[in-house]
Amino acid sequence: MTHQATSPLPVVVLISGSGSNLQAIIDAAQRQEIDIEIKAVISNRPAVAGLERAQRAGIETYVVDHTQFADRRSFDTALAQVIDRHQPGLVILAGFMRILTQEFVEHYLGRMLNIHPSLLPNFQGLNTHQRAIDAGVSEHGVSVHFVTPELDGGPVVRRASVPVLPNDSADTLAARVLKQEHRIYPEAVGLFAAGRLKLQDNVAQLDGQPIAQLPRTAE
Ligand code: GRF
């Protein structure tokens, strides 16, 4: 289903926790650097800081608490109902810590982005900073990608790399990566809102040109 680019592009943001990426996107929208309107922020966990960030910005918030559902499928169905009420042209996963069903992902294919703290396709999954340190890589980073049924596997639309320093801990490395997250996520959302980013046959394109993907190297 293709969605005509509208201005501002209505978006829904899904969170699970602090919402620092949400905040970066709110700030970029308020500075009119990106042409979106955040119609709703939905958390799968109650009382997280990200909900307060949204409320402070006057954005509607919802909690769809995954512990209240018997299985993944019924949670995803309830979540999609809340999302679709707002008819978003883009769904943004921002620190959203749920594995989504294939059906849910396919419903939003081509209009759902996620941010993952590694240079994909390396270090998919959790604890990426400690794994990068343990693997002895000299470079780490963050990737914004289209969400496809492969967990953390969708084509990357924007990435940023940071050095891994000899005395880095997972926390110091995570903090260096997070700064880059807050820079590139608003950029990626802005490009999508401008109609410049597309997912075509599982290839991410910027202005009609395929975006180069990294080879799998580490681990
Ligand atoms: C970030 O490291 C992000 O890459 C990951 O979740 C962490 C927290 O994000 N997806 P946020 O502060 O809740 O946006």
Domain spans, the chain: 9-210
Nearest 5 degrees, angle CA 192-CA 197-CA 200?
130
Q: pLDDT tens across 2-34, in order? A: 445 689 999 999 999 999 999 999 999 999 999
d(CA 178, CA 142): 8
Q: pLDDT tens across 61-75, in order? A: 999 999 999 999 999
- Return the residue matching tokens 């802005």: 190
Instruction: Report CA(117)–ligand 1 centroid distance (Å).
Output: 8
pLDDT of residue 217: 87
Ligand 1, residues 96, 181, 184, 189: which to mutate, most atoms within 8 A of Cβ? 181
The amino acid at residue 77 is: T
For the annotated catalytic residues, the residue numbers are 116
| Residues whose beta carbon lies within 6 Å of some atom of ligand 1 | 15, 17-22, 50, 94-95, 115, 117, 178, 181
Q: How far is CA 64 from the centre of its chain?
A: 18
pLDDT of residue 209: 98
| Number of other residues whose CB lies within 10 A of the CB of residue 75 | 21
Question: Region 204-215: what's the mean pLDDT?
Answer: 97
Q: What percent of the chain has pLDDT over 90?
A: 95
Q: How confident is the model at residue 1 (pLDDT cuts 50, 70, 90)?
A: very low
**Strand ranges across the sheet with 9-15:** 61-63, 36-43, 9-15, 90-93, 112-116, 139-146, 156-163
Q: What is the CATH number of domain 9-210?
A: 3.40.50.170
Q: pLDDT tens across 88-135, in order? A: 999 999 999 999 999 999 999 999 999 999 999 999 999 999 999 999
Q: pLDDT tens across 153-189, in order? A: 999 999 999 999 999 999 999 999 999 999 999 999 9
**What is residue 184's DSSP assignment?**
H
Phi, psi of 192 (to 5 degrees): -65, -45
**195 three-state secondary structure:** coil
User: Which residue's CA is the nearest one to ligand 1's atom 5?
Assistant: 95
Instruction: Report CA(68)–ligand 1 centroid distance (Å).
Output: 23
pTM of the model: 0.96
Answer whether residue 194 shows pLDDT above 80: yes
